[in-house]
Amino acid sequence: MPKAESSVFARWRASGARLIQRHPVARYLTLKVGRAVFVIWATFTATFVLLYVFPADPVDLLVDPAAVGQVRGELREQLAATYGFDKPPLEQYLDRLGHALTGDFGNSVTSGKPVGHAIAETLPHTLVLAALALGAALLIAFALAVGATATRRPWLRNFLTSLPSAAVSIPSFMVAILLLQVFAFTFGWFPAFGDQGWRTMVLPVATLALPVSGPIAQLLIRSFEAELGASYIATSRAKGATRTRILTGDVFRNASLPALTIAGIVFGNLIAGSVITETVFSRQGVGRLTQTAISSLDVPLVQGVVVLVAAAFAAINLAVDLLYPLLDPRIRVSLAQGSAPAGASA
């Protein structure tokens, strides 16, 4: 009986392997999905391990640092038992991993709220902020790139092409404070904090959009220039197309494609920027949640947030990997021929 079972298993495995081997698309999918799952698991494991090599005993982090000396003996054991810190690390790991698979990351140490709820409550606020900021950043980036490419004055082009690096290198924190000083405290046009009404969104969206627009604009300017120099443009021009027609009809489309590849970077900028933006503007959101969780080392909350961010990163990269063959015929061709899809993971 066991023999039969194992042979069924072996046959199943062999057919799976054949499928993956014979169908490059299946192989591609397995590879990419597997990579995404691995990244999420590795993040979870890394945060867990870090908490164990961390300098502080997790029990100490539960109490007022000044009163740590008084937490000893039975009291210490009671606290450790409440949070499961008394079990062997491997058992704790498997236990937490099992719960995490069902979406349960435990309760926040400082508030007692389940980590899932804390994230679910704040995530929509961050998504709105990030979506609006991304929209604003795309507008800024396209405007810059089109302006820099379309202009025939070298000084203006130089000026416009230098703006993205400036946007990237000014710290969000400073942008936030500057915007606040001018538009909230001096002119009083927009409130400095709060989450009621569209006016409270303006300054945070501007703060977050600026650093995000930088890399997008840089990439667009570079690919606009490259595409403008391409031979098909010469053909278009020879056929009598105007400069505007070439920019919007040919360059715009072809140059947008590489922008997808920096989706991960953009997302990273949005996350990092949201921590600062939400903290300075005192907004509810995952960024602010992260900031307080880390500063108080609220272990379960930190782990929940980190895994969420890793999962989002993995999902975005996966989406890009899966979208790319659909958008770029070269990769589709190489996939169909069964050779390695070179361009996709660049």
Partner 1 sequence: MTEPTNEPANSIEQARPKRTKLWVALALVLVLAAGGGVYWALRPSADEDKTASDKVEGASGPVTGGTFKFGVFMSHSTPDPQAGGGYTDAIIGNNVTDKLTWQDPDSGEITPWLAESWEFNEDITEYTFKLRQDVTFSDGTPFNAEVVKANFDQYVLGDPALDIDPNGAPYFPGYLGTEVVDEFTVKVSFDRPSAGFLQGSSFTANYQPGFLALATLAKSAEERTDPKNVIGTGPFVYEEWIENVRTVVVKRPDYNWAPPALERQGAAYLDKIVFNILPEGSVRTGALRSGEVDAILDVTTTDEGPLAADGFEIVARQASGSTYYLNLFPGAFPTDDINVRRAIQLGWNRESLRKTALSDSYTDGTSAVGDTVNGWVDYSGDGPLRYDPEEAKRLLEESGWEEGPDGIRVKDGQRLEIKHFGVQNVVPVKAALESIQLDLADIGIDFQINVLAGPDFSAAMQKGASEYNALSLNRSRNDIAVLNTLYNPTIDNGAYIDQGFEGHDDLVASLSKLEQTLDPAERTKYAKAAQDLLIEEYALVVALFNPSQVIAQAPYVHDILFDAQARNHFRNTWLETR
315 lies in the binding site for partner 1 (CB under 8 A): no
Can residue 197 be called a binding residue for partner 1 (CB under 8 A)? yes
Q: Which of 36, 180, 216, 308 binds partner 1 (CB under 8 A)?
A: 180
Dihedral angle sign, alpha carbons of residues 156, 162, 168, 173: negative
Tokens of 262: 């920096």
Q: Tell me the window of 12-20, 63-71, 140-148, 266-274 that interacts with partner 1 (CB under 8 A).
A: 63-71
Q: Which of 8, 10, 42, 75 binds partner 1 (CB under 8 A)?
A: 75
Q: How far is the CB of 103 from partner 1 (least distance, A)?
A: 16
The answer to whether residue 169 forms part of the interface with partner 1 (CB under 8 A) is no
Position 65 contacts partner 1 (CB under 8 A): yes
The tokens describing 90, both together, are: 């491997």
CB 220 → partner 1: shortest distance, Å? 12
Among 20, 222, 241, 345, binds partner 1 (CB under 8 A): 222
CB 107 within 8 A of CB 300: yes
Q: Which is nearer to partner 1, 90 or 238 (CB)?
A: 238
User: Which position among 33, 68, 265, 312 is part of the footprint of partner 1 (CB under 8 A)?
Assistant: 68
Site for partner 1 in 1-60 (CB under 8 A): 54-57, 60
Q: HEC string of 155-212?
A: HHHHHHHHHHHHHHHCCHHHHHHHHHHHHHHHCCCCCCCCCCCCHHHHHHHHHHHHHH
- Return the range that interacts with partner 1 (CB under 8 A); candidates 8-16, 69-77, 141-149, 150-158: 69-77
Based on the shown chain and the rule CB under 8 A, indicate whether residue 98 belongs to the binding site for partner 1: no
Rg (CA), the chain: 26
Residues from 317 through 336 that contact partner 1 (CB under 8 A): 323, 326-330, 333
**Does residue 170 interact with partner 1 by CB under 8 A?**
no
CA angle 46, 298, 75 (to 5 degrees): 110
Segment interacting with partner 1, rule: CB under 8 A, options 7-15, 67-75, 148-156, 159-167? 67-75
Considering the complex, state which of residue 135 and residue 338 has its C-beta at the smaller distance from partner 1.
135
Please state the closest distance from residue 258 (CB atom) to partner 1, in A.
5
3-state secondary structure of 88: coil
State how far the Cα of 160 lies from the Cα of 228, in Å rounded to an integer: 17
SS3 of residue 313 by DSSP: helix
Does the CA dihedral 315-273-120-44 come out positive or negative? positive
Is-contact 258 223, C-beta < 8 A?
Answer: yes
Query: For partner 1, which is the closer residue by CB, 127 or 143?
Result: 127
Residue 20 or 318 with smaller CB distance to partner 1: 318
Q: Measured from the CB atom, is 70 or 162 closer to partner 1? A: 70
- In the region spanning residues 110 to 129, those forming contacts with partner 1, defined by CB under 8 A, are 110-114, 118, 121-122, 124-125, 127-128
Please say which residue, 156 or 342, places its beta carbon nearer to partner 1: 342
First-last CA distance in the chain: 49
Q: Is 92 in the site for partner 1 (CB under 8 A)?
A: no
Q: What SS3 state is found at 275?
A: helix
DSSP H or E stretch at residue 226 = helix 199-228
Give the DSSP H/E element, type plus range, for residue 234.
Answer: helix 231-238
Given the complex with partner 1, which of 30 and 254 has the nearer CB atom?
254
Please tell me whether residue 338 binds partner 1 under the rule CB under 8 A: no
3-state secondary structure 6-66: HHHHHHHHHHHHHHHHHCHHHHHHHHHHHHHHHHHHHHHHHHHHHHHHCCCCCCHHHCCHH
Site track for partner 1 across 266-305, x = CB under 8 A: -------------xxxxxx---xx-xx--xxx--------
